[in-house]
Chain A
């Protein structure tokens, strides 16, 4: 239990640190944003004055940080200049979409990588292993952007899949099952890009972790006792490999989250990625900060889940 509390505290500290960094950026950005905003005809001078007062530009840094934290705690993340609306609701929708994509991609990636890695480790040197390792190496060499664009071209040429967006136009009117099917079809491309991109690293690490675990004394003893091979692999070896694999899981969340940025833009998936990009090009300061902070929350949260998994999987940690 102490372990969980410690990890939670650690996560909270990381988020606090991230918020400080984010806040520092808002105040240290070259050029006063409010001056830039003044040049923007869309924003009236009253709004400008209200915003300025709200953000207390002239108060000392610490006071502003405290105020910013307070509003953050209320779920407020500032004001979007481009959309003329508060940031949070805008980000919430996008965040949900990104989360959907990332979670499903992570689960699917592991569901594929685990069996492949375990089989590879089990049949090291044989055909299965060589095919898997070769395919992994092949995928590894292809940079994400090439993979994404390549699959996109493939989708466009074959017309098997919708090539953009999250739902088809006019899908609101369809019955639930049709809408679900429509959503799934739209997810195939982005998820495929993310999963394929993640495979090489995951499979390689699963393979080496399981191969090492199979060499462990107690696993060999179990084999000598006549434990059937399948049980040996999945219950004994995999358990022994749990620690490095769970840290890998935490790492994969980060990698997939970063990868999702590009994938969302390429496939026009309405997540945080394209929204962030738009905001950067439009110099929409608070959206950018909110987006980066939110993605950090997801990452830290995901790693905390990995810590919880470790707690559940490793009895040694439970008895600490």
Chain B
């Protein structure tokens, strides 16, 4: 599988507010390297403050790392200028945790969904509407929501809409930053299945996005991912295939995360590959 997106030795510091304690600057990322291949499903787990969200933001080019490189198809994204970056951005999509702030409060669901196409495609209104309906079917949302205000939808529906919007431009990488964490457990499961379907059943292999799921729930991440990366205090402390991580965790943090996750029994069934 070709390598799509890599992070090489990312370092990012958030300066501390106090003027005196300069050494109290928080290192969100302390030399993190990750490789994402086409069609891969990776879970990045850790507790709050471990740096996983910062990693997601850097990978999606929303934040710039202080040092290190981010390569997409061999182009170093930290070195390109704004207009080039704008071309690349649609290929790496980010879904946020809180969907209620991810939509303009005055937009309808239809406007939210169609915005990427308005920006990047030259389709007319009718075509957009049609594609929108198709996308809704894939994502499991009823067609009549298009005219409702985006923020009026339920939490689960909103998250589906956010994922739909992220998939609209057929990105190569889909990053979900705690996107399931705010949902009910049953809804989480539904959306997890959705992601797996999107990854498996989405037409030809070329269109299947690589999925990166950021979460503090190791079991949930394990359900979706083939590979798991465990982070703590800005560093990667363990990584490996999901099976190995779940059955034989090495690092203390990994074991703690396993213990904290819901439904821990060690027995774990991953959904079979197609």
Q: So, do A and B actually touch in the complex, CB under 8 Å?
A: no
Chain B interface (Cβ < 8 Å from any Cβ of A): none
